[in-house]
Chain A
Amino acid sequence: MLYIKCPHCGWRSQNEFSYGGDATVKRPELGKEVSDQEWDDFVYNRKSLRGKHWELWQHLSGCRQWIKVERDTATHEIFKTLKANEEIS
């Protein structure tokens, strides 16, 4: 069982959250000419790191806010959580 510290609600079990994937993926800028390769990278291609991984979770059965979580994908240890609008340092 994972326990995730929601920056809004505090410690909660993983049952209350749903997963949203890699938090470092950035959508190509609006209004800019986007190549197929850039779009492909944004939509499909992932690093899927082994080790520390910044990812999005939604506190679906709680405050319903999206949050950022830094978690180790090999040990499942969680290091840090941020609000969605906070920058990853």
Chain B
Amino acid sequence: MQKYSIFSLMKNAFSNHEKWDLAWKDPSPKKEYDVVIIGGGGHGLATAYYLAKEHNITNVAIIEKGWIGGGNVGRNTTIIRSNYMHDDNALFSEFGMDLWRRMSQDLNYNVMFSPRGIINLAHSDAQMNVYARRGNSMRLNGIDAVLLNREQVKEIIPMADFSENVRFPIFGGLMQPSAGTARHDAVAWGYARQADSMGVDIIQNCEVTGFDVVGGKIKGVRTSRGDIKVKKIGLCVAGSTNILAEKLNMRLPIETHLLQACVSEPVKPVLDRVVTFGAGHFYISQSDKGEMVMGGDLDGYNSYAQRGNLPTLQHVLTEGIAMMPFLSKLKMLRTWGGIMDMSMDGSPIIDKTHIEGLYLNCGWCYGGFKATPASGWTFAHTIAQDRVHELNAGYNLNRFNTGYLLDEKGLGTKTWIS
């Protein structure tokens, strides 16, 4: 594989950039693999990469119905953070933060990780108390957290609404300085390129049509490009989890919902942090191109449409304008939607299943992108060793049965219905 560097860039400039190697190949599926990963998104590509790198399992295929990186990894608002209160979430995410910091070097691909910090705004005394508690929990787990008062927040984001007569005045906020953003497509492409170079077959335009399960064991997978014999399958299909689960006669604690995001026209640099509104659900950052990248609530009903409706977008942007009034002057450039695998307690599932050789990675709700490296790393471990790692032990499927939910928001079940 060609190494990307300033020298290879200069060398290729002399040939008008027409002689770069392909970043990954386009193989046809073989008859048999050791492991098949279904889903060529961020998590699937990362899983294949860590299977090869950490566990020396390279006879691996990634099967993707469309093209790699075309789902949620190409549709998100690129926020990376580990500001969780519960140990299971905090330790998993912070492990991921370490992988994010090294990712560009590790993958020899500039993922433009930008640790610019995230501020969760508080709009009441009670909310400040809750944030103080979460900040303390984070620090006990070795994650950086700073509780900011109103004046400190004003210094960092003076463009927010600090006037006296607003419905939700800013009391302060909780900041995780090491959080940030990254170039989402580069993450998918970086993992794909490295996985390919280590021998993983990336098979695109290949739809799974069924599974061969004999005596409770995985024997193979049927696809639109032929049958494949395999003993271990990793399911990494986010919003399509239920569709494949139905082919396996499984019912999961997952519903597929629609989440929208949008970007404004590009403007000069105005916001150098990620900021979330505390009196609703709205988050914003500014991309390197200058666009304001925004998102918020789900559309609120089961959907596989990958496109949203206007009422939710209007609701979300109303919150945005309440927080930062200047946004009302901007024109909207693009809006889009993706389908989210919403788990019943708001936390993900990375686990084995009752079918031997079938491994499950789903339930990422709003937070799939930031989890990409940690999810891939722990899922690869779970598949390779046939047992969960302590980092994803809390993300077991059994917790819904036993009642040991991982309810980060303290909202009970179906956290998206609020």
Contact = CB atoms under 8 A, between A and B. Distances in A.
Contacts of A53: 302
Interface of B: 242-243, 246, 251-256, 300-305, 309-311, 344, 400-401, 413-414, 417
B344 A76 contact: no
A71 B258 CA distance: 15
A21 B400 contact: no
Contacts of B401: 36-37, 40
Interface stretch (A26-34, A43-51, A79-87): A43-51
If over half of B's interface residues share one DSSP class (helix, strand or loop), that class is named, otherwise mixed; here it is: mixed
A9 B400 CA distance: 39
Nearest to B246: A47
B251 to A, nearest CB: 4
Given A21-B255, A21-B417, 9 more contacts: A1-B311, A13-B311, A14-B311, A19-B300, A21-B414, A46-B254, A48-B242, A55-B301, A73-B303
B305 A75 contact: yes
Contacts of A22: 255, 302
A19 B242 contact: no
**Interface-central residue, B242, B251, B302, B305, by most chain A CB under 10 Å:** B302
Interface residues of A, number: 28
A48 B254 contact: yes
A36 to B, nearest CB: 6
A19 B301 CA distance: 6
A73 B413 contact: no
Contacts of B256: 48, 50, 73
Contacts of A19: 300-301, 417
**Interface-central residue, B255, B304, B310, by most chain A CB under 10 Å:** B304
A45 B399 CA distance: 12
A41 B401 CA distance: 9
Contacts of A37: 401
